[in-house]
Structure 1
């Protein structure tokens, strides 16, 4: 706490230097003659490597806007990287725009006074531009950023492997059906299905984001029947079917799941649109098969109430302490309405209705269109009408439940013990955070 007070004091000291010409975007006067205005320089912090789209976006803007130049600063989107970003803003370093990748990060920055309330601008209607899914990113009824990308998650499929097994590309299916696909696609000692760890727990959230993480009496809902079903299904695939890697093997080996899928070793991969960043890279990830795409399966048999992880992402905020907010806003509007199209090369599709989706698709697949099943690609990216959710669960709850279900998958506690432990710890968290 003492360190935080000192840091905040330093930030206050830095913020009070507004009487300097630099703080007001003016060049220091040299003599009494008229001086040419220096270009405004904006610093945008994001988690995507520059070569995967951001640098092309920045270069395009800078070419047409000599008076406002943007520099891209990359931070790694993990705990250390997000702390680096927060520290930079708290201590008054140059941050004018920054990307939030989760609502929890965005909310904490709003609470700390680091994100600007965008209702101060009235010339851009976020709801109209981005559609109903944008609502998920409101914080206390307001936008403190613009959700700029569509963020589809899907099952990537080896189309030739499916054809050999006489299996169609699904447009809607259940986890039990995926389990059967994995059995039929498994060859020898190879697995039939593999997952990136980021969407690993999405089946639980697809249920509880709708049913509620708490019951009517305010207690934990982590013992929901479909939570148990997810645990049993996945454990069966690991231990009985041997169609997906045991969790211990995947964690200890830090299995490079994208590489494993793209090498043709495993025919099904649960992942998000960032796969395209690697699947378009034939230099590092050569492949000789066509990639097809299917929606993420649901746990329940009935499809009526199913929602899928996805919605909108890359929530870009303006630093509330920035002295260049007007310039940052002009750039953010341009970026949101299509300037970001080169980001599609890394699987980030523009969310704005005014963005040119043809340009985005060209960036998405480049010159590799013959290596994709385009019908299924377009379906999961644009045509699938399944409602979506954005994960908004506090990080503390995510951590406690993962600690418990890992024990189950690692055979150190039973299913009943796992569910009870998750509920008990969640209830303790709820009492402490009333």
Structure 2
């Protein structure tokens, strides 16, 4: 009987050992399989192949990280960011698999963060051991957390007709104030053309032209403060209105706002047809600086930095657009998604070669290569003052991001409406600021 019990016990021990051994083997094989398993990331972007060179860029990433495959989903074949945003929201609402999201501007990015669409990146950033504010030119922080890393870097700048500058005996500015900008525009208003052209505001859009002086600062540059209150009593908002009023009414150096609306003018035509000597615009224009078949460059072009408010201040601050690269909150592959985002916003930008990167560690040599590549795709790149362009793009800075409020569009329309009363002589500046501030504060109070 004892022998039988011993035999049963030994069999149980042997069976347990076999099962454990098999389990270890299965676990090991499973671990190796998991290690070698290729992860597919669903990447949603508004960018087209022509604008972003995706095949070359993604191929380079997959070569470096063979276990990560990137499945690109282009949300608009036209590169229309509004269409792309609508389709992205629809895909999210439908529960489609998502890993990497690209937002085209700060309002869209901040709004979708508030909707819970993006996951914070801070634990990955901490593990990598860098500070976003030091590593990149664009601050992507919202309420103390980073939900995205910036891709391209498109600061606003001033495009100048260098032939008009030469005729007026003016040099290309490397550092200037708004007062000097106004002096230049006044001196350039001659021979049948205006000194400058402002493309906005228009029906609540192109609102950058309503915060000219505000945008020259390192922080507090929006119509709303970081605490969600009206910023319209800021003296720099008044200064922005004064710039517009003085240039159009007193100096007559800017294209009249009434003409912009009634004639449906466009900044590209105004500048390239030499009807104006300068435009303040975003550096998405880099690819068009050398002209095209539709709008040839028949003059020499130079680039100046966005003006600052006072001579003793640091220069380079300007409105900036970027691509906000985020991890979808619903992603099951957050680590791999971060790997792609970090690579894309650093060395991936150099591989892509289509835009100026927001990454601070791009060497001067790489920057010049990218600029050469961008300019050489134009019709007449030799007419562009390349050194002035490099100087501006190298020294440009982004101000601190302020999260937009949910009713941002309504606020923009109010500011636009009251500005029109000012520019059409229906109310003075002080009245404009008082009424605009009251209306905007009402919107914020009733949100």
Smaller-chain TM-score range?
Answer: 0.7 to 0.9
Match for 2:157 among 143, 154, 158?
Answer: 154
The number of residue pairs the alignment matches comes to 393
Match for 2:334 among 325, 340, 349?
Answer: 325
> What's the secondary structure of 2:326's corresponding residue?
strand
Q: Which moved more, 1:369-378 or 1:68-77?
A: 68-77
**Per-residue CA distance 1:370-395 (angstroms, 9 max, x = gap):** 222122112111035x6734464532
* CA–CA separation in structure 2 for the residues paired with 1:319 and 1:214: 27
Q: 2:145 — aligned with what?
A: 142
Q: 1:85 — aligned with what?
A: 88
Equivalences for residues 222-233 of structure 1 within 5 A: 222-233=232-243
Q: Which moved more, 1:269-278 or 1:250-259?
A: 250-259
Q: 2:430 — aligned with what?
A: 416
Taking structure 2 as the reference length, the TM-score comes to 0.75
**Per-residue CA distance 1:287-325 (angstroms, 9 max, x = gap):** 132221111123x44432777224673211121113343
Question: In the alignment, is the contact (CA less than 8 A) between 1:343 and 1:349 conserved in 2?
Answer: no
> What's the secondary structure of 2:151's corresponding residue?
strand
Equivalences for residues 290-369 of structure 1 within 5 A: 290-298=300-308, 300-304=309-313, 308-310=317-319, 313-341=322-350, 345=354, 347-353=355-361, 356-366=366-376, 369=381
Q: 1:258 — aligned with what?
A: 268
Q: 2:439 — aligned with what?
A: 425
* CA–CA separation in structure 1 for the residues paired with 2:180 and 2:362: 38
**Per-residue CA distance 1:68-97 (angstroms, 9 max, x = gap):** 143241445655542332222222235432
Q: 1:262: how far off? A: 2.5
Question: In the alignment, is the contact (CA less than 8 A) between 2:271 and 2:278 conserved in 1?
Answer: yes
Match for 2:394 among 340, 362, 382?
Answer: 382
Question: In the alignment, is the contact (CA less than 8 A) between 1:310 and 1:390 conserved in 2?
Answer: no
Equivalences for residues 117-128 of structure 1 within 5 A: 117-121=120-124, 123-125=127-129, 127=131
Question: In the alignment, is the contact (CA less than 8 A) between 2:152 and 2:323 conserved in 1?
Answer: yes
Q: Which moved more, 1:138-147 or 1:368-377?
A: 368-377
Match for 1:242 among 215, 236, 252?
Answer: 252
* CA–CA separation in structure 1 for the residues paired with 2:222 and 2:95: 39
Q: 1:19 — aligned with what?
A: none
Q: 1:106 — aligned with what?
A: 109
- The answer as to 2:51 corresponding to 1:52 is yes
How large is the Cα RMSD of the aligned pairs?
Answer: 3.5
Structure 1: gaps of 5 or more residues: 1-33
Question: In the alignment, is the contact (CA less than 8 A) between 2:415 and 2:436 conserved in 1?
Answer: yes
Q: Structure 1 residues 127 and 379, CA, compared in 2 at 3 Å: closer, same or farther?
A: same
> What's the secondary structure of 2:323's corresponding residue?
strand
> What's the secondary structure of 1:71's corresponding residue?
strand
Question: In the alignment, is the contact (CA less than 8 A) between 2:149 and 2:325 conserved in 1?
Answer: yes
Q: 2:74 — aligned with what?
A: 73
Q: Which moved more, 1:356-365 or 1:174-183?
A: 356-365
Q: 1:283: how far off? A: 3.0
Q: 1:146: how far off? A: 0.8
Equivalences for residues 36-51 of structure 1 within 5 A: 41-51=40-50
**Per-residue CA distance 1:209-264 (angstroms, 9 max, x = gap):** 4489689x997442344333321321232234332222233234442212331233
Match for 1:403 among 413, 417, 421?
Answer: 417
> What's the secondary structure of 2:146's corresponding residue?
coil
Q: 1:274: how far off? A: 0.5
Q: 1:274 — aligned with what?
A: 284
Q: 1:117: how far off? A: 1.7
* CA–CA separation in structure 2 for the residues paired with 1:120 and 1:219: 31
> What's the secondary structure of 1:248's corresponding residue?
helix
Question: In the alignment, is the contact (CA less than 8 A) between 2:216 and 2:307 conserved in 1?
Answer: no
> What's the secondary structure of 2:293's corresponding residue?
coil
Q: 1:407: how far off? A: 2.8
Structure 2: gaps of 5 or more residues: 1-32, 201-205
* CA–CA separation in structure 1 for the residues paired with 2:169 and 2:325: 44
Q: 1:401: how far off? A: 2.0
Q: 1:138: how far off? A: 1.3
Question: In the alignment, is the contact (CA less than 8 A) between 1:148 and 1:352 conserved in 2?
Answer: no
Question: In the alignment, is the contact (CA less than 8 A) between 2:111 and 2:404 conserved in 1?
Answer: no
